[in-house]
Amino acid sequence: MTKRKTASGNTPRQADIAVVGAGPSGMGMALLLARHGFRTALVAPAVAAADDRTTALLESSVEMLRSLKLWERIAPHTAPLEHMRIIDATGRLIRAPEVVFDASELDLPAFGYNIRNTDLNRELAEACASEPLLERIDARLDALEPGESGVTLSLSDGTTLSARLAIGADGRRSAVREAAGIAVSEWRYPQCALVLNLEHDVPHHGHSSEFHTPTGPFTLVPLKGRQSSLVWVQEPGEAERLHALDDDTLALEIERRAASILGRMRVLGKRQLYPLGGLTARTVAANRCALVGEAAHVFPPIGAQGLNLGLRDVAALGEILVAARRRGEDIGAPSVLAAYERARRPDIISRTTAVDLLNRSLLSELLPVQLLRGIGLYLAGRVPPLRRLLMREGIAPLMARPRLMRGLPLG
């Protein structure tokens, strides 16, 4: 199969599955399918801009990447997250004690590994380019028409693509989701995230530190060397003020908010602002279309849950499609899509609800809410069985962990 086509004209292309969107979830989905024998088209316009954000790949996601023989090329760009520290910096009447979780309590070298999105995307793109059954099409999806036996995608380069199934990995404004007629529940928070990378004088020793503040989390996550990524959730006006500061002034402000735990700091590269909100698709599959990643769910950057939830979508959908093909079923049939919905709905709802409640608890001035949050963190720090349960479930729910995330083959 030709790996890359950009020619104009209206000669239909053919694939078993079309994946729309070339972020980490989309590329991971396309690679999984191609490596399990599906003729796969990955549709997305080429993106030249570097992504200065970072992603914490939790242990279950690492296991999936290892199963797909991708981890070896990704690992050199990562920093291990060996310890996770939660610090109550709300300054309120009721405050929780500091809690530190250690990966060694689960007999793991690390909870996960943090990586710059630029490095992750580059390694995945290079893996896609060398996959024989994967065709990368540098084009935008203009229209998608589901039919009884397949879907037809009209692309911005003037060509059409026919497939038995379309997978939307095209973000919160998903064109695939819209074409499939899937409704969403959407909400906004009075918050904005300032995202940037830092260099600092004191080693982080593999500690990820999350300060809980009245406006949201202030989270420092290790990168390679003496560098860390920062996600600072603030009220929109304050986030814009911080974003406008010069590098030296902003670095001093960050060091102060971090209680100098990493010493003197220096801002690296660009800083970005992201208004916070949430989104949940009413179903993750309909009309020969399936959704993964932010096409299916969006929530605030708390606990490194976003992309890891998306990669569980990828692993679960791949498992279901491989099993359906083995049984001789139509991979786009309603029964197959319904199986994917059943597999993912509990995980998506529980994760979205947990992150939403934690975020709202930080914003609440109600004493009962503060008390419940404080008691929860106190018990998490003092009751070993609860600690281990929270750590395991934070990595990935045991009841919703697909085969690839348990080191098992799909067949």
3-state secondary structure 148-191: CCCEEEEECCCCEEEECEEEECCCCCCHHHHHCCCCEEEEEEEE
Residues 284 and 356 occupy one common structural domain: yes
Are both 126 and 249 inside the same structural domain?
no
28 residue type, one letter? G
Identify whether residues 271 and 192 lie together within a single domain.
yes
Does residue 197 sit in the same domain as residue 239?
A: yes
- Last residue of some domain: 275, 309, 339? 275
Please tell me the predicted confidence (pLDDT) of residue 328. 97
Residue 249 CB: number of other CB atoms within 10 A? 12
pLDDT for 3? 39
Nearest Cα neighbor of 39 from 21, 10, 69, 19 is 19
Rounded CA separation 361/253 (Å): 25
Query: What pLDDT is stored for residue 4 in this prediction?
Result: 41
Based on the fold, state whether residues 46 and 133 are members of the same structural domain: yes
Pair 157, 44 in one domain: yes
Last residue of a domain, one of 275, 310, 335: 275
Query: Which pLDDT value is given to residue 8?
Result: 45
Closest CA to 400 of 361, 347, 334, 338: 347
Contact 282, 320 (CB under 8 A): no
Across 355-369, b (16+ Cβ under 10 Å) vs e yields bbebbebbbeeeeeb
My answer on whether 314 and 174 are in the same domain is yes
Residues 181 and 192 occupy one common structural domain: no
How far is Cα 124 from Cα 146, in angstroms, rounded to an integer?
29
0.85 exceeded by the pTM? yes
Coil/strand/helix, residue 280: strand
The neighbour count for residue 66, using CB atoms within 10 Å, is 16
For residue 92, give every residue at least 6 positions away whose Cβ sits within 8 Å of its Cβ, in sequence order, or none.
Answer: 214, 370
Q: Does 202 map to a domain? A: yes
Helices (H), strands (E): how many in the chain? 11, 22
pLDDT in tens, the chain (411 residues): 433 444 444 668 999 999 999 999 999 999 999 999 999 999 999 876 677 889 999 999 999 999 999 999 999 999 999 999 988 888 776 777 788 889 999 999 999 999 999 999 999 999 999 999 999 999 999 999 999 999 999 999 999 999 999 999 999 999 999 999 999 999 999 999 999 999 999 999 999 999 988 998 999 999 999 999 999 999 999 999 999 999 999 999 999 999 999 999 999 999 999 999 999 999 999 999 999 999 999 988 776 788 899 999 999 999 999 999 999 999 999 999 999 999 999 999 988 888 888 888 777 776 676 677 777 776 777 777 777 877 787 777 777 789 999 888 887
Q: What angle do CA 363, 364, 368 make, to 5 degrees?
A: 145
Same domain, yes or no: 82 and 137: no
Domain membership of residue 144 (yes or no) is yes
Which domain range does residue 285 map to? 4-50+116-185+278-363
Separation of alpha carbons 39 and 3, rounded Å: 11
Identify whether residues 343 and 324 lie together within a single domain.
yes
Token reading at 235: 């009220």
